[in-house]
């Protein structure tokens, strides 16, 4: 029998005992639905975590610290490589060298300092950080109000949301609705604030504060360079308010005010590492506490890390830290998938039951078909097609049902989040491969369930089947 | 073709030949010898009645010839094919193309309309969709059921159902029509109607007919040869002059 005829006959046979076959199909649908709902939630949660991490811009970032630095990220490394005293200094030439490594987009120093901000006469003590101009394209600034810095050295700042709230005297109260970024930005954009900071100025004796290259003689100079610290003030314009999470893992994000990195460098603000340089083997060129390296793609992070380690620096990347997180989600997905599959297994027993019942009921019909010339293959194919048709219907209905269940759970979660005064989150996601995969899975499971009944029907002896009254 | 001469010309080609054909099956401890060493030959174009009491093995013999059952031993050769040696697949093809069957209980599929029932063997034969309906309508027209195409078997009388099953048996243009008590469930008037159709197929289409019946009068009226079975054995084989006369008489009437 031709495949199309087979499918057509299968559909009409299924319609004959519509109630039983619909119930069986509903069974498959529920199985598929639970599979889709569970996996879509698993994937959604994974994506949520991924988005959170991505927002922090960590996956393509390597943080480089000097081994001279006592607070290296990875203390184990210090046991292997050169001893801290012998290891290279993390300064401008080292930064340039790193920036030229293959697959490195940029390398910039992490400049951060505490300064006193005056806004409308009131002082605020806060952490400031230099922000590279390339951060303009960062996802982290998606929800930003206002604009990014107009140039690399513009005397402009971007405020972190909570600091903006502080400036406006809007301290978040428990239970109160959190003010939106737009609300906070409105009265602040374009306003001026004054920053008071400590400038590191070279003493006239050395006079080489701007030297771009290192003079080895000077680094080894046991006397060390001399410099003085002068208190300065700068007036800065507020151009933006952003929604960066202050507790995020990313370096800059911990700061409350961002200013252009070049500007921060030009101001020669006193850095914590400067002090260490004076006690250690410092040079006239200021050393950086950390250099952040942006890699073209997360897959190249490891290679870049290795290259930088060879240069004698300590490195740290979040790829190491997220490995365990990804593992957790893989296990979560596996378990959710297993529970979903269990439901589908129950459904497949339903198919077997329905088809075996159908054989008993249609014994005579099978006998007739064989008597008038149906081959074993025709009978087998017919029952197989019936299982397949139930699988197709069950798959489609199940995906729709699972999608709806996932959506309802998502909606419920967001209602709950809203009551707890959290922003809404998409915790549910149905990728196209899950839709196709679930439908395919339903069909495969149905066909497998149809195998036994179909071959049983095919083996039926027509003489006995026809004698049966 | 003059019917009187038929009898002699039929002997020319042997269509069915069984050799010491046996079909035994166990029932509890006993061995039932449903067919027990039957050797018989049927020529092409014959109208044979298999007669015997119930349990004499006539239906079992018919099932063996129909390829629905396989012999325990012996041979059943139809058109030079030994059915015992055919694979299940080949046997299905044989049932599809070489024989048409009619049963006492009609055996139409109740969930299908008459048209679909008659069309079903064409589906198995993989005839194109476009041609199927026309062929099925033609076959139903032949048995006078053109007005009942969309009816289901349960909506029809026994005679109409049996006519539909005749149409189904003919649809693939088989050489043999095997009928198992075709009038057993019908009153005498509709029974006659069905028998006239069967005789017509024998005479105009040249189909070889093997009909199982326990009614001797029916056999005498229509069949040209009567084979008597008892306990699975052949106990009599005679040609039937009366039948030829009856046919002639009927031919004269028309």
**pLDDT tens for residues A9-61?**
899 888 888 888 898 888 888 888 888 888 888 888 877 877 766 555 667 77
Does residue A163 surpass a pLDDT of 90?
Answer: no
Nearest CB among A2, A13, A375 relative to B92 is that of A375
The CATH number of the domain holding residue B103 is 3.40.50.300
**pLDDT band for position A110 (cuts 50, 70, 90):** confident
> Which one of A202-211, A310-319, B245-254 scores highest in mean pLDDT?
A310-319
Which band of pLDDT confidence, cut at 50, 70 and 90, is reported for residue A362? Answer: confident
Q: Is A11 on the interface with B (CB under 8 A)?
A: no
Domain encompassing residue B117? 45-67+86-253
Q: Tokens representing A398?
A: 């199940």
Pairs of residues, one from chain A and one from chain B, whose beta carbons lie less than 8 Å apart: 74
Tokens 């969709």, residue?
A: B129
Note every long-range contact of B199-203, with CB atoms under 8 Å and residues 24 or more positions apart, other chains counting.
B199/B47, B199/B247, B199/B250, B201/B166, B201/B170, B201/B177, B202/B45, B202/B47, B202/B177, B203/B3, B203/B247
Which member of A5, A365, A463 has the closest CB to residue B123? A5
Residue B103: list chain A partners with CB under 8 A.
371, 466
Identify the band that residue A286 occupies on the pLDDT scale cut at 50, 70 and 90. Answer: low
Q: Is B90 on the interface with A (CB under 8 A)?
A: no
Residue numbers in A near B111 (CB within 8 A): 12-13, 16, 365
Q: Which of B101, B112, B126 sits opposite A1 (nearest CB)?
A: B126
* A12 interfaces chain B, CB cutoff of 8 Å: yes
CB within 8 Å: B124 and A469: no
Compute the average pLDDT of residues A364-381. 93
Q: How far is CA A10 from CA A15, A378, A383, in A?
A: 9, 11, 7
Q: Is A103 left (phi over 0), alpha (psi -120 to 50) or beta?
A: left
pLDDT over 80 at A285, yes or no: no
A173 reaches B (C-beta below 8 A): no
* Per-residue pLDDT at A211: 44
pLDDT of B176 reads 95
Interface membership of B124 toward A (CB under 8 Å): yes
Q: Which residues of A touch B123 (CB under 8 A)?
A: 1-2, 5, 9
Cβ distance B93 to A369 less than 8 Å, yes or no, reads no
The least confident of A219-228, A308-317, A395-404, B85-94 is A219-228
Rounded to the nearest angstrom, the minimum Cα separation between A327 and chain B is 53
Q: Which chain A residue's Cα is nearest to B94?
A: A373
Q: Which residue in the set B89, B105, B123 is minimally distant from A1, CB to CB? A: B123
Interface list for A 13-52 with B (CB within 8 A): 13, 16
Is B69 in contact with A463 (Cβ distance < 8 A)?
Answer: yes
CB proximity B127 to A under 8 Å: no
DSSP A371-438: HTT--HHHHHHHHHHHHHHHHHHHHHHHHHHHHHHHHHHHHHHHHHHHHTT----------HHHHHHH
Predicted confidence band of residue A209 (pLDDT cuts 50, 70, 90): very low
A419 and B CB contact within 8 Å? no
Closest residue by Cα to residue B58 from B171, B223, B195, B249: B223
- Number of Cα atoms under 13 Å in the Cβ half of residue A100: 7
Chain A 378-397, residues with CB within 8 Å of chain B CB atoms: 378
Question: Nearest-CA residue of chain A relative to B59?
Answer: A463
Q: How confident is the model at residue A97 (pLDDT cuts 50, 70, 90)?
A: confident
Q: Exposure string (b/e) for A375-398, b if CB count within 10 Å is 16 or more? A: bbebbbbbbbbbbbbbbbbbbbbb
Three-class secondary structure assignment of A49-106 = HHHHHHHCCCCCEEEEEECCCCCCCCHHHHHHCCCCCCCCCCCHHHHHHHHCCCCEEE
- Of A441, A241, A466, the C-alpha closest to A348 is A441
Q: Does A320 touch chain B (CB under 8 A)?
A: no
| CB burial string A192-217: b at 16+ within 10 A, e below | ebebebbebebeeebeeeeeeebeee
A135-139, A265-269, A411-415, A465-469 — which one is most confidently predicted on average? A411-415
- What tokens does A452 get? 């036994």
* pLDDT tier, A275 (very low <50, low <70, confident <90, very high otherwise): low
CA distances from A60 to A56, A251, A258, A286, B73 (A): 10, 14, 21, 26, 81
- Whole-model pTM: value is 0.65
Model pLDDT, residue B7: 45
Smallest Cβ–Cβ distance between A372 and the set B88, B120, B126 belongs to B120
Cβ distance A374 to B124 less than 8 Å, yes or no, reads: yes
Higher pLDDT, A437 or A243: A437
Of B63, B107, B121, the CB nearest to A373: B121
Question: B100 lies in a domain?
Answer: yes
What total number of domains does chain B contain? Answer: 1
What residues of chain B, 170 to 209, have a C-beta less than 8 Å from chain A? 172
What is the average pLDDT score of chain A?
78
CB burial of B37-54 (b: ≥16 within 10 Å; e: otherwise) equals ebebebbbbbbbbbbbee
Query: Å from A368 to nearest chain B CA?
Result: 6
pLDDT at A175: 53
For an interface test with A, give the residue of B107, B118, B181 to mutate (most A CBs within 10 A).
Answer: B107
Q: How confident is the model at residue A231 (pLDDT cuts 50, 70, 90)?
A: confident
Contacts of A457 in chain B (CB under 8 A): none
**10-residue mean pLDDT series, chain B (254 residues):** 44 83 90 92 94 91 94 94 92 94 93 94 92 93 92 94 95 94 92 94 94 92 94 91 53 44
Answer whether B70 touches A (CB < 8 Å): no
pLDDT value at position B83?
93
Quick check: is B156 in a domain? yes
Q: Average pLDDT in the A312-329 region?
A: 74
């Amino acid at each position: 029998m031709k495949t199309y005829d087979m499918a057509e006959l299968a559909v009409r046979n299924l319609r004959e005992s519509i109630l039983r076959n619909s119930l069986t199909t509903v069974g498959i649908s529920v199985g598929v639905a639970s599979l889709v709902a569970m996996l879509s939630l698993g994937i959604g949660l994974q994506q949520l975590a991924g988005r959170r991490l991505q927002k922090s811009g960590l996956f393509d970032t390597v943080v480089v610290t000097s081994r001279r630095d006592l607070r290296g990220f990875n203390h184990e490394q210090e046991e292997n490589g050169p001893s801290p005293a012998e290891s290279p200094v993390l300064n401008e030439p080292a930064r340039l060298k790193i920036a030229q490594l293959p697959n490195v987009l940029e390398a910039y120093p992490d400049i951060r300092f505490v300064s006193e901000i005056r806004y409308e006469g009131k002082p605020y003590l806060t952490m400031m950080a230099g922000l590279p101009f390339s951060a303009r394209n960062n996802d982290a600034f998606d929800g930003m109000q206002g604009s990014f810095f107009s140039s690399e050295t513009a005397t402009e700042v971007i405020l972190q949301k909570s600091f903006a709230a502080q400036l406006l005297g809007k301290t978040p109260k428990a239970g109160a609705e959190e003010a939106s970024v737009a609300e906070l930005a409105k009265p602040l954009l374009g306003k001026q604030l004054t920053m008071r900071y400590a400038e590191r100025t070279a003493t006239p004796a050395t006079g080489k504060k701007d030297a771009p290259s290192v003079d080895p003689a000077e680094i080894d100079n046991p006397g060390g360079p001399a410099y003085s610290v002068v208190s300065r003030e700068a007036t800065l314009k507020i151009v933006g308010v952003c929604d960066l999470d202050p507790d995020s893992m990313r370096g800059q994000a911990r700061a409350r005010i961002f200013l252009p990195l070049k500007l921060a460098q030009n101001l020669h603000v006193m850095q914590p590492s400067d002090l260490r340089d004076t006690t250690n083997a410092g040079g006239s060129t200021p050393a950086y506490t950390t250099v952040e390296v942006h890699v073209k793609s997360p897959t190249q992070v490891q290679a870049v890390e290795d290259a930088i380690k060879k240069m004698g620096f300590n490195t740290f990347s979040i790829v190491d830290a997220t490995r365990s997180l990804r593992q957790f989600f893989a296990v979560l997905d596996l378990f959710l998938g297993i529970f979903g599959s269990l439901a589908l297994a129950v459904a497949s027993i339903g198919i077997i039951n329905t088809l075996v019942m159908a054989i008993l009921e249609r014994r005579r019909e099978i006998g007739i078909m064989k008597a008038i010339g149906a081959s074993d293959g025709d009978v087998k194919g017919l029952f197989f097609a019936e299982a397949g048709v139930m699988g197709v219907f069950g798959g489609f209905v199940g995906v729709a049902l699972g999608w709806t269940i996932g959506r309802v759970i998502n909606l419920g979660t967001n209602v709950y989040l809203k009551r707890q005064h959290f922003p809404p989150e998409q915790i549910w996601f149905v990728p196209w491969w899950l839709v196709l995969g679930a439908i395919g899975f339903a069909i495969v499971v149905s066909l497998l369930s149809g195998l036994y009944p179909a071959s049983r029907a095919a083996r039926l002896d027509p003489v006995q089947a026809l004698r049966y009254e | 073709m003059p019917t009187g001469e038929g009898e002699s010309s039929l002997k020319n080609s042997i269509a069915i030949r069984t050799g010491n054909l046996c079909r035994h099956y166990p029932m509890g401890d006993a061995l039932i010898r449903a067919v027990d060493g039957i050797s018989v030959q049927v020529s092409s174009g014959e109208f044979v009645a298999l007669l015997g009491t119930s349990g004499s093995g006539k239906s079992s013999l018919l099932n063996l010839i129909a390829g629905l059952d396989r012999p325990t031993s012996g041979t059943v050769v139809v058109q030079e094919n030994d059915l015992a040696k055919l694979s299940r697949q080949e046997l299905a093809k044989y049932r599809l193309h070489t024989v048409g069957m009619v049963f006492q209980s009609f055996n139409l599929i109740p969930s299908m309309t008459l048209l679909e029932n008659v069309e079903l063997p064409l589906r198995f034969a993989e005839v194109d969709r476009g041609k199927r309906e026309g062929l099925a309508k033609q076959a139903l027209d032949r048995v006078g059921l053109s007005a009942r195409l969309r009816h289901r078997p349960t909506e029809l009388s026994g005679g109409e159902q049996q006519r539909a099953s005749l149409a189904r048996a003919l649809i693939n243009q088989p050489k043999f029509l095997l009928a198992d008590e075709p009038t057993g469930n019908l009153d005498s008037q509709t029974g006659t109607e069905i028998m006239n159709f069967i005789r017509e197929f024998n005479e105009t289409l040249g189909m070889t007919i093997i009909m199982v019946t326990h009614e001797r009068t029916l056999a005498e009226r229509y069949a040209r040869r009567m084979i008597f079975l008892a306990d699975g054995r052949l106990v009599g084989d005679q040609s039937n002059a009366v039948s030829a006369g009856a046919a002639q008489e009927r031919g004269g009437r028309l």
